[in-house]
Amino acid sequence: AATATAAAQSRGMMAPSNTIKSNNNRIMVYSCDHDTEGSITLTMGHGKKLDHMGIQVKFFGRIDMEGGVHEGRPHYDFISLSKELLPPGSLYNTQTVPFNFRGVEKIHETYHGRNVSVKYFVQVEVRRQWLPPITAEHEVLVQIPGVEPSVNEPIKMEVGIEDCLHIEFEYERRCYHLQDVICGQINFLLVRIKIKHMELAVIRRETSGEGLAQSAAAMMGGPNSAGGGGGGGNHTTGNSSNAGQNIVTETQTLLKYEIMDGAPVKGELIPVRLYLKGIPADVTPTYHAENNRFSVRYFLNLVLVDEEDRRYFKQQEIILWRKNLGDR
């Protein structure tokens, strides 16, 4: 019997800053224009022989929507390439064969979400007569560094309840890179209800489904509103779907912490400082209608809780972007 294992290695990508850890293993990170090249090792048992009908290496870029709603196609391959490594023949000894896929543009980042994922992988296939092929896969991660937005205005908003509560909150910027620090302040202009504490949460909203771009206008409405609602921990706090458009929205609280304990007074300023790299979840850039199949957006959710456990909240979208290869 023979076994096949695949390993991909990108030239010039061995620096620690261009690798990330997953399950205590280092995984290579590719940029959109790096060549995907490496080697396939075919391991033979001692004294064994394997007759094959040819050995191929394949490279895929795949959007997988098996976890969500799709129109009969659980996955879509936007890259599908194959090359012959060895012609039909026989294997007697362990053999290592190099491969390369040069000049392949990778237009999407690797992403593993709740209902959708983007995955790049190398697959080797040893074809055999009358028997299923021997296959093995190896995933490679793709990240696409971005450019700082030319317009990055501060966020200033006021929210309140007439004659009861009036607060003004401000964040220094709307756009942040993945290693950035969100700084701001909250100013209490009017306080006539007894506030018990105040929380700040980072929320990720993943929207997936066929024809997402056509539904973008409808999905954009509603998140920047104030009102009462429930809280959540580091888990999915809700989901919704649009059956007509096959659109599913999954909302996940990535981080929640208390920024004030006790009743504030008029004129009090509460500073806000949140380190994005301290969020335990895998934070990605903001994605807008990727391949017309999914989007990922991030929000800051400010929640005030009064002594009767009523919750008053305000959400504000922020834009995240990747500054350096290897950032998470």
Query: Across the strands, what pairs with 125?
Result: 56, 135
Asked if 284 and 111 count as a contact pair (C-beta separation under 8 A), the reply is yes
Burial of 24 (0-12, 13-18, 19+ CB in 10 A): exposed
How far apart CA 1 and CA 65 sit, in angstroms, is 35
- Which residue from 13, 122, 134, 130 is spatially nearest to 62, judged by alpha carbons? 122
**pLDDT at position 68, please?**
59
**pLDDT at position 162, please?**
76
In this prediction the pTM is 0.82
Q: Which residues, other chains included, contact 31 with Cβ-Cβ below 8 Å and sequence gap of 6+?
A: 106, 142, 143, 144, 145, 325
Beta-strand ranges (E) seen in 181-310 are 181-191, 195-208, 226-227, 236-242, 247-261, 269-275, 287-290, 294-306
**pLDDT at position 219, please?**
44
**pLDDT at position 237, please?**
45
**For the segment 1-48, what is each residue's pLDDT rounded down to a tens digit?**
455 444 444 443 433 335 455 555 566 788 888 888 888 888 888 888
User: What values do phi and psi take at 228, rounded to 5?
Assistant: -105, 150
Count Cα neighbours of 255 within 13 Å in the Cβ-side half-sphere.
17
Give rounded-to-5 percent helix, strand, coil for the chain.
5, 55, 40
**pLDDT at position 214, please?**
59
**pLDDT at position 238, please?**
55
Asked if 236 and 250 count as a contact pair (C-beta separation under 8 A), the reply is yes
**pLDDT at position 266, please?**
83
How far does the chain reach from its first CA to its final CA, in angstroms? 41
How far apart CA 101 and CA 8 sit, in angstroms, is 11
**pLDDT at position 319, please?**
95
pLDDT < 70 positions in the chain: 1-27, 67-72, 213-245
Asked if 301 and 274 count as a contact pair (C-beta separation under 8 A), the reply is no
Q: Which residue has the tokens 């350096």?
A: 324
**pLDDT at position 23, please?**
53
**pLDDT at position 196, please?**
85
